[in-house]
Structures are given as C-alpha cells and as structure tokens.
A = this chain, B = another copy of it.
Amino acid sequence: MTPVSDDLKALVEQVKAVSHPLRMRVLALLEPGELCVCQIAETLQVPQSSVSEALRELRRAGFVVERKDGRWVFASVVPKKQASPLLKGILADAGRLLEVLEDRALEVKALSIPVVCSKVQKSSPADRAVSRV
C-alpha cells in the first residue's frame, strides 16, 4: 500500500477506540453526563481495570475527558462543540440502541446501591440530581 499519513492513522485510531463493545457502551453511557470509574464498572458489571483501560482509549481518541476529584476520576464526553462529525455520528447511532438506554437506566439505580463508590453512597439525592444533568 502507498504510504499511510499520520492523519489517516489518527482517524483510524479514533475508530478503533469504539470498535469494541465495552468501549462503545462506555462512551454511550457517558453521553448524558459524567460518571466515575466505579459507577461504570458497577453498571456494566465489568472489572475496574477494564473500565480504566477503556477510558484510556476513549481519551486517546479525543472522545472523552477526565476530571479528578480526590481519589475519584470522573469521565465525560467532550463538549458537543468540540465533537468531530465522527463522534457525533457514533453517539447518534449508539443512542438509538435499546441496550444503551437500558445501561443508562441501570446506571441510575447503581447510584443508590451502597456497594458503589462511597462518594455516591454518602451524597444526598440533591447532589445526585445536580451531577446527573
């Protein structure tokens, strides 16, 4: 094949970032608002290390940003203004999937489960309502 430019490689890397069910689900799960790693792990029933690795790829692709708050790391999708056509397209298609809607509904329940992050456990319902929207 004729030489492949860095730009093309970068685009392919972006696509690879969501070429996996877990990473696609994590990205879609984050669209409504930020979540911390343990919430994602609990919602999707997957090892925390897998979530951490998934987020690293999504961050490398420029789809997700992270915010540290003490020992917690909150991840969110980049602002819509900064979203590339590719990212918008992915979110549009993923947002139509029943499974994604179910994940988001589960995530709401996970917030009230005492086993999740103690931050969540101790926060008041009002705090939750604010952080979600």
Contact = CB atoms under 8 A, between A and B. Distances in A.
A70 interface: no
A12 interface: yes
Interface stretch (A30-38, A81-89, A113-121): A81-89
B25 A21 contact: no
Nearest to A90: B86
A16 interface: yes
Number of copies: 2
B12 A15 contact: no
A18 interface: yes
Interface of A: 1-5, 7-9, 11-12, 14-16, 18-22, 24-25, 44-46, 50, 84-90, 92-94, 97-100, 103, 128, 130-133
